[in-house]
Amino acid sequence: MADSICRTLRDGGLEGEHAPALTIKDRISSPLGLDVFNHVLAQLSSFILAGKSQSRGLVLVALTRSPSFYLELLKSGGVQLNSAQKWIHILDCYSDPLGWKDNPSRHEKANTATDENPGTVALFRDVKDANKLFCSVSELGKDQVSSIFWLLHSDLHEAKIAAVFDYISSMIASLEPMIHPSNGERLSSENRSLRNENLSRGNFSVRFKRRNGRVRQMCEEISVEQSGIKFTPVSSDGQAIGGGPLPKVQFNLELSEKEQMDRASVVLPFEHQGNGKPIQIYDGRRSLADTRTNTVHVPTEASEAADPRKGEIIYLRDSDDERPDSDEDPDDDLDI
Amino acid sequence: MAATKTRVSSFSRNVPATLAPQIPGVKTGPNGTAFVSSGIPDLDRIVGGGFPLGSLVMVMEDPEAPHHMLLLRNFMSQGLVHNQPLLYASTANDPKGFLGTLPSPVTSRADKLSHDDEPVEEKGLRIAWQYKKYFGGSQQILNSQGAMENKHEYGNDFDVRKPLQRQFITGQKVECISLQDCPDLSALRDRCATFLAQFPRKDGSISSVGRIAIQSFCVPECSYFNREWHMLSFIKALRSMIRSSNAVTVVTFLPSVLSPSFSKRWQHMTDMLFSVLAIPDEDKDLAELLTGYQDMVGLLNIHKVARINTQVPVILEATTFSLKLRKRKYLALESLNQAPVDGSSGTSYSTSGSCSSTTSSKPGSLDF
């Protein structure tokens, strides 16, 4: 499923459509967003290098990690960076985002340091001005945008802003913790181990907005190890996710297997006395001491031979009655 | 005052029979209201006639699906077909381009009648949980055969695959505004005021009727996006202008990008409130639950129905409908034909089906 995300970004948008846009959302209880972002970045870079994607270049806006981190990441992922200048441009908003380093000599030093690395790295020093930021991005890109993706920490933004990002993106990938930590803040040993679990594993769910106007939701488990990131399909637990938009109706027409078996094994009131003994129905004519002779005949039960002179109660279950319904109306013989 | 007119209830307004409008596309209803068609005959029938003149209709969009465009397009096309002037505002740089996507009305009789197909005969016994929907079929056929002319005049079916003929669009009848040109909503308000001045409401016959369609009013692309009080006061001004004119306004907006309190205020401000919902794709559970899942485009919820001049509320039988494209051409609304579900795992609902649902995107009303 993560592959399908990368493939969608790789294929880009059709003529007249908006470019596919991916939002990766994580939160403090499941902080794996950066790993997912890096994974998508590495995949997309390899697609671009192999020439398989609609886009021919990549513009990376580095906000929380330095450009060298990303270049190292790509190198370790097997991406050749020799001709990197042609296809990757990094907008460095990490080294000096607010323009605090006014000293020109230091500024030059920063530039020379990055010259060793391949790829154009442009320093950007005015992150507060969003207009300028986007202008720089589009300058570096030089062409039309084929696809775009970003990482958002949903705890840091108002719900409204996160909703805006959901509105403009065509794929929304969110990371949820596998085990929800308890609400209390107490650092019990259980909580700590749970939280540590959440630092390396989580639930990765993606909502795709399809062209037919429907939404496709997919879920996977994600685990981050030393070797890298791994996505495994989630085992279905039988819970219906899509019950949301529909009203619930509280009837059930069909019985499940278990329910059918239970139903077959129910003993009807006429057939048991409640204490394991065979059925004894008091018909009012004999004393209770003579109950042995009044045992009811039940076809399914092995019973003693009844005295033909005494009364019997023959009980047939409706389900055992094999005769088909006759056409007679049983009310016909009523004479009112 | 016509002495022979029977009163429906003690709260109904007596309207003399001479007030029947002469113009096509307008129908009189009880309590002195006049309706125009929404462009979707099923919707007209569900809300009791159509959109009343002088009402504000709002559609809450789903950020994941563009179904509100279907409703808006049909509304606009219906107005143009009936020669009703239209004012259209959207955030696109060139709103006129949208007019090319309006559907054209269906004219041939054969197409119309073949809607009411008999339900496929199935072998075996079917338990009809919602039996009333099977009654409607035969009645519709009778109606459409008998009153064909009336139906054709008031509300049309639209073929979404055919664009509206140019003769309807060109001419003085359509004005387009781009919301991006309005840094301040007062410019938009003035345009609406001048447009609505053409259709003043006075006692007497209705001379002409207008429609306003505003698409995606609060999207982030607009420069007034952060000024929520501004947007709210615009809606309020629009509503008061609409009340005193013979026009209907449809505004679509996205409730999730507004603060919750403002989203609620907007919902209270409107006369009619719908919301559209996207449905999950390839959802096996949903396919089992709903018949006709494959043809469904989305869901429509009716939260509020306009009640002007009356104190009597309308209680709908169902508030959730599925949007379908019959034969991939005609937009239709159908009530949900739902299989019962095991209720032991769900929560118990204490509210009964009514128009006043709770929050914007997830309705909580029952639907029997």
Find all residues with CB under 8 Å of B359, minimum gap 6, and list them.
Answer: none
Contact B219 A212 (CB under 8 A): no
Tell me, yes or no, if A166 comes closer than 8 A to chain B by beta carbon. yes
Question: What mean pLDDT value characterizes chain B?
Answer: 77
Phi-psi region of B21 (alpha: psi -120 to 50; beta: other; left: phi over 0): beta
CA dist A175 and A168 (Å) reads 19
Instruction: Tell me: do A231 and A172 sit in the same domain.
Output: yes
**A240 to chain B: nearest residue by CA?**
B285
d(CA A279, CA A303): 10
Model confidence pLDDT, tens digit, residues B121-143: 555 676 666 565 555 544 444 44
Rounded Cα–Cα distance for residues B29 and B49 (Å): 7
Question: Which pLDDT score is estimated for A305?
Answer: 44
Mean of pLDDT values over A164-171: 91
Residue B299: which of A166, A245, A252 has the nearest Cβ? Answer: A245
Contact B317, B355 (CB under 8 A): no
Q: Are residues A17 and A83 in the same domain?
A: no
Query: Does some domain include residue A141?
Result: yes
Question: What confidence score (pLDDT) does residue B201 get?
Answer: 84
Q: What is the DSSP letter of B18?
A: G
Residues A77 and A226 in one domain: no
Q: Same domain, yes or no, for A131 and A151? A: no
pLDDT at A172: 93
The residue assigned the tokens 């609409």 is: B242
Q: How far apart are CA B114 and CA B329, in angstroms?
A: 13
Considering chain A, what percentage of its residues have pLDDT values greater than 90? 9
End-to-end CA distance of chain B: give it in Å, rounded: 42
B329 pLDDT above the threshold of 60? yes
Compute the count of residue pairs across chains A and B with CB atoms less than 8 Å apart. Answer: 113
**Same-domain pairing of A10 and A77:** no
Residue A140's domain comprises 56-102+116-145
Given this model, what pLDDT does residue A151 score? 93
Residue type, A154: S
Instruction: Answer yes or no: is A155 within a domain.
Output: yes
Model pLDDT, residue A291: 44
Which residue is closest to A216 within chain B, CA to CA? B281
CB B321 within 8 A of CB B337: no
- Range list of β-strands (E), A111-214: 120-123, 148-153, 171-177, 201-209
pLDDT mean over B92-96: 86
pLDDT for the residue numbered B364 = 40
Regarding predicted confidence, which is higher, B177 or B114?
B177
Using alpha carbons, select from B65, B11, B26, B242 the residue that is nearest to residue A208. Answer: B65
Average pLDDT of the residues in B265-284: 90
Confidence (pLDDT) at B108: 57
Residue A205 confidence (pLDDT) above 70: yes
Residue A281 lies in a domain: no
Q: For tokens 């004393």, what's the residue?
A: A287
Number of domains in chain A: 2
CB B262 within 8 A of CB B217: no
- Same domain, residue pair A167 and A216: yes
Position with higher pLDDT, B239 vs A247:
B239
Cα–Cα distance for residue pair A67/A138, rounded to 1 Å: 18
- Chain B residues in contact with A205 by the CB 8 A cut-off are none
Between CA A315 and CA A319, with CA A316 as vertex, the angle to 5 degrees is: 150
Q: Are residues A211 and A131 in the same domain?
A: no
Q: Please, where are the H alpha helices in chain B?
A: 41-46, 68-81, 96-99, 109-113, 132-146, 148-154, 166-169, 185-196, 228-243, 260-269, 284-289
* A60 and A141 inside one domain: yes
Specify whether A201 is located in the same domain as A63. Answer: no
The pLDDT value recorded for residue A252 is 60
- Residue A288, pLDDT above cutoff 70: no
Instruction: Using alpha carbons, select from B270, B278, B340 the residue that is nearest to residue B305.
Output: B270
| Weakest-pLDDT range from A164-173, A318-327, B9-18, B24-33 | B9-18
- The larger pLDDT score, comparing residue B363 to residue A278, is at A278
pLDDT, residue A263, reads 80
Ordered structural domains, chain B, with CATH: 24-111+142-335 (3.40.50.300)
Q: What is the pLDDT of residue A21?
A: 92
Least CB-CB distance to A216: which of B127, B281, B341?
A: B281
Pick the range with the lowest mean pLDDT from A34-38, A132-136, B31-35, B141-145.
B141-145
Q: For residue B63, give the nearest of A163, A208, A216 by CB distance.
A: A163
Least confident piece of the model among A192-196, A211-215, B128-132, B311-315: B128-132
Q: How far is B28 from chain A (nearest CA, A)?
A: 34
User: Per the domain annotation, does A69 fall within a domain?
Assistant: yes
In a domain, A288, yes or no: no
Residues of B with Cβ-Cβ distance to A174 under 8 angstroms: none
Q: Considering the domain boundaries, does residue A96 fall inside one?
A: yes
Mean pLDDT for B71-89 is 91
3-state secondary structure of A175: strand
Residue B72's SS3 state is: helix
Q: Do residue A242 and residue B257 have CB atoms under 8 angstroms apart? A: no
- Per-residue model confidence (pLDDT) at position A28: 87
CA distance B343 to B346: 5
Q: Residue B126's pLDDT is what?
A: 64
Using a CB–CB cutoff of 8 Å, tell me whether A183 touches chain B.
no
On whether the pTM is more than 0.80, the answer is no
In a domain, A188, yes or no: no
Least confident span in A322-326, B16-20, B305-309: B16-20
User: What type of residue is B75?
Assistant: F
Show Cβ contacts of residue A93 under 8 Å, excluding neighbours closer than 6 positions.
A61, A62, A63, A124, A127, A133
Whether residue A15 is contained in a domain is answered as yes
Mean predicted confidence (pLDDT) in A303-329: 62
CB contact under 8 A, A250 and B285: no
Is the pLDDT at A177 greater than 90, yes or no?
A: no
| Interface probe, candidates B60, B61, B62, B64, chain A, greatest A C-beta count within 10 A | B64
pLDDT of residue A315: 72
Lowest-confidence pick of A306-310, A324-328, B210-214, B227-231: A306-310
pLDDT at A108 over 50: no
